[in-house]
Structure 1
Amino acid sequence: MTSGTSRISGETAERLAAVAHELADAARIETLRLFRSPELRPDNKAASGFDPVTEADRASERAMRAILEARRPGDSVLGEEFGARQGDSGLTWILDPIDGTRAFMAGAPSWGVLIGLSDARGPVYGIIDQPHLDERFEGGLGRARMLGRHGQVPLATRRGVALADATLMSTYPEIGDAGEQAAFRRVADRVRLVRYGLDCYAYALLAAGHVDLVIEAGLQPYDVAAPIAVVQAAGGVVSDWQGRPAHGGGRIVAAGSPELHARALELLNHD
């Protein structure tokens, strides 16, 4: 399972968090400029099927990269739209300028800007930012909080919830391949409520104690770095479907408690 602990000092942590919030502020400007705008013109990145990207995605990542170039030139950067830049500091910023571009296109406020920070062991800090709702979920480097129009609210996952009473979320009902779908259904058939379609916002709700499980497949590193840091800082557990570190993407299970996480793993791996 991924670990959110880090040897980053308090003073450095303050500087890094300040840069992260500067990135999120810049991304808010670029994403809100085109959200629910008639000027939005999505493109399709996929050779087959549909993988949308918009100018808001590109502008958001360009704005964040420009800040990192100025503020943290020695750090590595990995972004969904513009790839990797290698640094020498041992830290990597992992950016998803709009996680949930389909929701963004549809005018639904369930997309988010993801800003993750990793060292050699995995994510140590993350922000899940929902600009339209003015909700910023921050976790790691000694922080676990949501900042927004209601002020500052501590983040804490829900504990003591049995699987039969749990709420499970996933982005797509048609999760992964046939085998992955069957494994997912073994969990979904045993929980109280299953909901779909919230992309990164599902992890924010897990960190805030509103849902109990998020299970997904086919994810990329930029989809998961920030959510992992936020969920773990709030007391949750995140791994792949075999209980291993998940920051490389792929199959993800996030739970509000170790007990619920263990039960989900059991069902995902056994009939």
Structure 2
Amino acid sequence: MTAVDFAAFVEKLGDAASETILPFFRTTLGTEDKNSGGIFDPVTEADRAAEVAMRRMIESMFPAHGIVGEEFGSVRADADYVWVLDPIDGTKAFIAGLPTWGVLIGLMHKGQPTYGMMVQPFTGERFVGDCGSAHWHGPGLGKARERRRLTTRRCNSLAVATVMTTSPLLYKDDKLAALRRLEAEARLVRYGCDCYAFAMLAAGHVDCVVESGVQPYDVVALVPIIEGAGGIITNWDGGPPAAGGDVVASGDHRLHKLALERLKG
């Protein structure tokens, strides 16, 4: 099967996650800290319920496929096809009632990201890519849903670039210094948004997104979307980003080269 053959199934996964999560959004819900004693790393009942729903569907439809999820770990991670799930990327935004979180559903084939979707259930938006093209699905001016091609914008200078990162509090020592070098040359720097910042890069509204210390489930789904929209995403050394760590995405390959140079010092 090709990535295109999985498209309808990914839509169903997005439906299941959305239906599970939305009843919890902007309600009083319990939150646990997965990183007691360190930087607050929350998990909610909504995170766990959505991942369970998606895992059950994958196990039923594709029992030989692997699954890597934020909340319940890995099974068959060496399979040819591996699903990489983050039920709520941006849980801090979620518990604050901000609509900048998203459901990340990624599919890897033989170790390479091949298909990805970012679902924002509250706004009704979906960002989808297969490395060759990317599209946005969402509500139009009326009630009908629209579909548009995603294309990153041209930007060959940090002096006119909009740069985003989730929070400088997530950076340590030399990594924070690297971020500050990049920020010092950018026209506009904004914090927050988690996966939604990458979606806005694919849509042509943001030029560069930088993150430090991310996990595979934070990034695998985003790779096919960004590449499908004409952008580039790598680790800070310019290598493949799927393993996580320190990653940077740019809408313009020329800007990406400059960003890597500033991050390296």
TM-score band w.r.t. shorter chain: over 0.9
Asked if the contact 1:75/1:88 (under 8 Å) is kept, the reply is no
Amino acid at match of 2:230: G
Contact conserved, 2:164 with 2:190, CA < 8 A, in 1?
A: yes
Partner of 1:231: 226
Aligned position for 1:47: 36
Question: Could you tell me whether the CA contact under 8 Å between 2:152 and 2:251 is conserved in 1?
Answer: yes
Residue 153 of structure 1 corresponds to which residue in structure 2?
148
Contact 2:66 2:82 in 1 (8 A): yes
Quote the offset at 1:162 in angstroms: 2.0
1:65 partnered with 2:55: yes
Q: In structure 2, which of residues 68, 71, 95 is the aligned counterpart of residue 105 of structure 1?
A: 95
Ranges of 4+ aligned residues in structure 1 off by more than 2 Å:
12-15
Which residue identity is paired with 2:249? A
* Conserved? CA contact 2:151–2:230, under 8 Å: yes
Aligned residue-pair number: 259
Quote the Cα distance in structure 1 between the aligned partners of 2:132 and 2:247. Answer: 24
Whether the 8 Å contact between 2:231 and 2:251 is mirrored in structure 1 is yes
Greater length-normalized contact order (CA 8 Å, ≥ 6 residues apart): 1
Asked whether the equivalents of residues 19 and 71 of structure 1 are also in contact (C-alpha less than 8 Å), the reply is no
**Which residue of the other structure, out of 195, 199, 212, is the alignment partner of 1:200?**
195
Instruction: State the shift of 1:217 in Å.
Output: 0.2
Alignment of 1:116-155 (within 5 A): 116-140=106-130, 142-150=132-140, 151-155=146-150
Q: Residue 214 of structure 2: which of 191, 211, 219 is its match?
A: 219
Contact in 1 for aligned 2:131/2:223 (Cα 8 Å): no
Partner AA of 2:178 in structure 1 = A
Contact 2:233 2:249 in 1 (8 A): yes
Q: Distance in 2 between matches of 1:55 and 1:121?
A: 30
Computed over aligned residues only, the root mean square deviation of the Cα atoms, in angstroms, reads 1.4
CA distance in 2, matches of 1:186, 1:175: 16
Deviation digits for residues 87-119 of structure 1, max 9, x if unmatched? 675011000000000100000000000001112
Partner of residue 28, structure 1 = 18
Q: 1:96 aligns with which of 86, 103, 114?
A: 86
Q: Cα offset for 1:153?
A: 1.1
| CA distance, structure 2, for counterparts of residue 135 and residue 260 of structure 1 | 27
Q: CA deviation at 1:73?
A: 1.1
Q: CA deviation at 1:122?
A: 1.9
Q: Mark the runs of 5 or more structure 2 residues left unpaired by the alignment.
A: 141-145
Corresponding residue for residue 115 of structure 1: 105
Q: Distance in 1 between matches of 2:191 and 2:69?
A: 25
Residues 142, 29 of structure 1: CA spacing in aligned structure 2 closer, same or farther, 3 A cutoff? same
Moved more, 207-216 or 15-24: 15-24
Secondary structure of the corresponding residue to residue 245 of structure 1: coil
- When the two structures are superposed, what TM-score results if normalisation uses the length of structure 2? 0.94
Structure 1 residue ranges without an equivalent (≥5): 1-8
Query: Structure 1-normalised TM-score?
Result: 0.92
Aligned counterparts of 1:66 and 1:267: Cα–Cα separation in 2: 44
Tell me how far apart the structure 1 counterparts of residues 3 and 253 of structure 2 sit (CA, whole Å): 27
Change over 3 Å in CA distance of 1:75–1:233 after alignment to 2: same
Q: 2:133·2:227 contact (CA, 8 Å) conserved in 1?
A: no
Name 1:251's counterpart in structure 2.
246
Deviation, 1:72, is 1.2
Structure 1 residue aligned with 2:8: 18
